[in-house]
Amino acid sequence: MKLFLFALLVLLHFTAAVPTWEGMNGRSSIGSLIPGASLITAKGPVSHPGDVKHLTVHNPGTIGNITIRAEARSGSPLFYINRNHLWLLVNETTVYPVNIHNSTTFHDLPMQLVLGKQKQGITTGTWRWKGTQLYYDMPGGQSNMGLYFHCLTSSGQFNTFMSPIPSPPPNGCQVMTFHSFTREYK
């Protein structure tokens, strides 16, 4: 009996010394790897009850102009803010920055959201959450006040624009706000 008890204690001692990594196998998605990653939902005239629209790109998996669309079969992309910059998660190894480009040469609104492979365009502003709503702030206290515009462009596609100066929506544009209702911080 003493030998059995001794063997059991030795076995328990070595079992307790085996390292475990809690949560490593519990990751269910890329969003669980990045705290705060979530869908960004558009609210305003562009969405109707039961018709949820999310921030995305025209062709999933590619870079280009940002737009909003109804949730795709493959799911809408996840976004997160890191170091005051908005990023889109592509997969476990790739993230793309959401850039702000000067659009004054071709549109009434001065700033367009464009997904790129590297940071470019207007880089002096900061992204932030205020409650559930997404804001973009510029130096000198200017802000888009959380307002974005879904606009039909000359290419025939709807793209996303914003302005640091409050203004009514130009022709062909609808005002909207962006929200995240599912951000989780661990």
Q: For 118-143, how does the pLDDT look when each residue is reduced to its tens digit (9 = 90+)?
A: 999 999 999 999 999 999 999 999 99
Q: What is the value of pTM for the model shown?
A: 0.78
Q: Contact, 122 vs 110, CB < 8 A?
A: no
Question: Looking at the chain, how many residues does it have?
Answer: 186
Q: Beta strand pairing status for 78-82 and 85-89? A: antiparallel
Other CB atoms within 10 Å distance of the CB of residue 110 = 18
Cβ contact 54:176 at 8 Å: no
* b/e 141-177 (16+ beta carbons within 10 angstroms → b): eebbbbbbbbbebeeeebbbbbbbeeeebeeebbebb
CA angle at residue 81 from 80 to 86, to 5 degrees?
A: 90
pLDDT of residue 26: 40
- List Cβ neighbours of 26 (8 Å cut-off, separation of 6 or more): 32
Look at residues 66, 177, 84, 162 and name the one whose alpha carbon lies nearest to residue 125.
84
Say how far apart CA 78 and CA 73 lie, in whole Å. 14
pLDDT over 70 (residue 17): no
Collapsing DSSP to helix, strand or coil, 140 comes out as helix
Residues 6+ away with beta carbon under 8 Å from 94: none
Confidence of residue 2 (pLDDT cuts 50, 70, 90): confident
pLDDT > 90? residue 161: yes
d(CA 126, CA 108): 22
Q: Which of 19-28, 32-41, 124-133 ranks highest by mean pLDDT?
A: 124-133
Q: Which residues pair with 51 in a beta bridge?
A: 48
Q: Does the pLDDT value for residue 42 go beyond 80?
A: yes
